[in-house]
Amino acid sequence: MTVTKQESGPEGSDDEDDMPGAGAAAYTPSPRRLERERHRRARARRATAIAALSTLVTGVVLYFVVVSAPGWPRTKETFFNGEYAREALPKVLEGLWLNVRLLLVCGVAVLVLGMLIAVARTLRGPVFFPLRALAAAYTDFFRGLPLIINLMIVVLGVPALRLQGVTVDPVWLGGTALTLTYSAYVAEVFRAGIESVHPSQRAAARSLGLSNRQALRYVVLPQAVRRQVPPLLNDLVSLQKDTGLVSIGGAVDAVRAADIIVGRSLNYTPYIVAGLVFVALTIPMTRFTDWVTARMDRRRAQGGTT
């Protein structure tokens, strides 16, 4: 069969100009290639300028809508008072240190307990049925129980029992309630990761002489944890915010410090200060979570391991 050679059009010759020769010492882009790059950069600058302008216009419109409302002067005095904000900020930051410590301690406890529950739910064999049933009941109960009710039961109910040797410190009790609730969520995240590992991985490990426990520890769990890093970080962000709920037991954290000033002054600006402090604490973790998620997506798209 004879193949006739077609003449190259303008676009074809442009593609040939863009590609370096096989033996060329240095590649010089063609004028058309340079023109396309300039056009792309100009289009990107134009899109950025339009986005910035539309954002500015939206912000200005929202500002005038808010400040022109009839109740704005009273709202500004009650929620955005600079004097009370300056008074509240040092005390809120002092209370925030308690929230940070709770996050660190409860975060570690949640990861350990959640992993144990997830492993218990994935154990095989009829002999482990009671353990699987208890783990399933635990996750179903604490995922369904509202966190605020769990905190009230633990923080207010445990001291009422007057148990010998059991602390009545609201910080420890609040941290326990947070750990109980979030370990149920994290357990399901770990379980989803374990079940996402293909059974052939475990079978291959067993064929190499590893026991079931060794296959779980060295083959299944490392892959499961790597795959579930983004949802785990999201749960950590939620835990970071919910540490402020321990104030219902009287612990002086950032929220309680703001509440004390509000109760004395009847001005709600300290609540705004506490909220902004939590937002400032949460944003870096949220951006880190987004970065990890994007990085894992890129590796997965390139065929890398997850």
pLDDT digits (tens, 9 = 90+) for 46-95: 999 999 999 999 999 998 998 888 989 998 899 999 899 999 999 999 99
Fold that domain 101-247 belongs to in CATH:
MetI-like fold (1.10.3720)
- pLDDT value for 304: 56
Torsion of CA 115, 117, 118, 119, to 10 degrees: 90
In 3D, which of 64, 11, 196 has the Cα closest to residue 122?
A: 196
Q: Is the pLDDT of residue 129 over 70?
A: yes
Contact 89, 273 (CB under 8 A): yes
Contact 115, 194 (CB under 8 A): no
Radius of gyration of the chain, Cα coordinates, nearest whole angstrom: 29
- pLDDT value for 305: 52
pLDDT digits (tens, 9 = 90+) for 169-178: 889 999 999 9
Contact 132, 123 (CB under 8 A): yes
pLDDT digits (tens, 9 = 90+) for 135-159: 999 999 999 999 999 999 999 888 8
- pLDDT value for 10: 45
Q: Is the pLDDT of residue 15 over 50?
A: no
CA angle, residues 282, 287, 291, in degrees to nearest 5? 150
In 3D, which of 188, 178, 182, 176 has the Cα closest to residue 135?
A: 188
